[in-house]
Structure 1
């Protein structure tokens, strides 16, 4: 019987590679690895789970066994994937996007997220978008309008306003500053 496991702090393609390496070291067969989750070929016994949990912990990950916590981690993985690893955000709203992937009502997901993370889901999404804007500003390959389009802002003025509200400085000032304080995706 196959099993799905959820892993906290899997936030990038390198994380997927690290988890894949751990699974191979432990001779755990899997079907698919995505941000925050792994589809295993078979259910793990307690000894295997403990070994996996320890190896993951040594690499900065955490095996999640609580349903609500795993759901919140899946929400985070979907938000991160959509903002940081998609070339253009889908035209659908966040409510539609999360419902499509998780098959649960957005109000429930938002309420659960807030209760588990001590921040609203909307604030988490804005924080992730802000970090992505910082990254794109540092690369200096896209104009502010192109960044706004890519991240589905209604205008570059709205992006600038939200960025300044989040960071205390305009995108231009951030780009020109020497201190480009960026957070890792799992710190948000």
Structure 2
């Protein structure tokens, strides 16, 4: 049986979920990004208890099919952009559709209705967050970042970055360098 939990994968989250399952006598087979697989069928009362226990840690047990689908879409996008070494070479729509086994139009319409933004807008925001991470923590230039995240050009990346953050990527990176210099001067 599968349960769906709203959380980002981290070692701590996995451990908390596993501990809470054990407390109520459930055996965890697998904990993935937003998904728990357990051996047993779970009663409504045990599901409520698990949900209440997880809430103490800021985790949410999902049981609405639309919300579960939205979390799955978000998880695929986050995994694809933040945790995958190689971005998919196919269209994001094809990748998400294939990964979740649903028609992309259905996924896109459901996502927009529930979240109030399009899947494409959600992807762009996460790509820009990834660009920020790469600018701050990796020694990559904009050309390398543009290539890694499959932007059509550095200009496209720069325009999107400025539209979302209000800053040019080079200025954003210079802020890091200024902070480092200030720390060195202390």
Q: Same fold (TM over 0.5)?
A: yes
Instruction: Report SS of the residue matched to 2:140.
Output: coil
Runs of at least 5 residues in structure 1 that lack an aligned partner in the other structure: 179-188
Equivalent position SS for 1:177 = helix
Moved over 4 A (4+): none
Task: Trace 1:100-119 onto structure 2 (pairs within 5 A).
Answer: 100-119=98-117
Tell me, yes or no, if the aligned pair for 2:51 and 2:60 is still in contact at 8 Å: yes
Alpha-carbon distance in 2 for matches of 1:104, 1:29: 29
Contact 2:108 2:119 in 1 (8 A): yes
Q: Structure 2 vs 1, CA of residues 24 and 172 (structure 1 numbering), >3 Å: closer, same or farther?
A: farther
TM-score normalized with structure 2 length: 0.88
- Larger % of helix: which? 2
Which of structures 1 and 2 has the larger relative contact order (alpha carbons within 8 angstroms, sep 6+)? Answer: 1
Where do residues 172-183 of structure 1 align in structure 2 (5 Å cutoff)? Answer: 172-177=170-175
Give the corresponding residue for 1:165.
163
SS, match of residue 31 in structure 2: strand
Shift, 1:121, TM fit? 0.9
> Which shifted more, 23-32 or 117-126?
23-32
The answer on whether the counterparts of 2:3 and 2:37 sit within 8 Å (CA) in structure 1 is yes
Q: How many residues end up aligned between the 2 structures?
A: 175
Give 1:43 deviation, angstroms: 1.3
What is the Cα-based RMSD across aligned positions, in Å?
Answer: 1.5
* Equivalent residue, structure 2, for 1:185: none
Shift in Å at residue 159 of structure 1? 0.9
Question: Are residues 1:121 and 2:122 paired?
Answer: no
| Bigger Rg, which one | 2
Q: Normalising by structure 1, what TM-score?
A: 0.87
Equivalence map 1:76-155=2 (5 Å): 76-155=74-153
d(CA) in 2 for partners of 1:108, 1:50: 30
Q: 1:146 to 1:21 in 2, by over 3 A?
A: farther
Worse overlay, 62-71 or 169-178: 169-178
Structure 2: gaps spanning 5 or more residues: 177-186
Equivalent residues of 1:16, 1:35 under 8 A apart: no
1:5 aligned to which of 3, 6, 21: 3
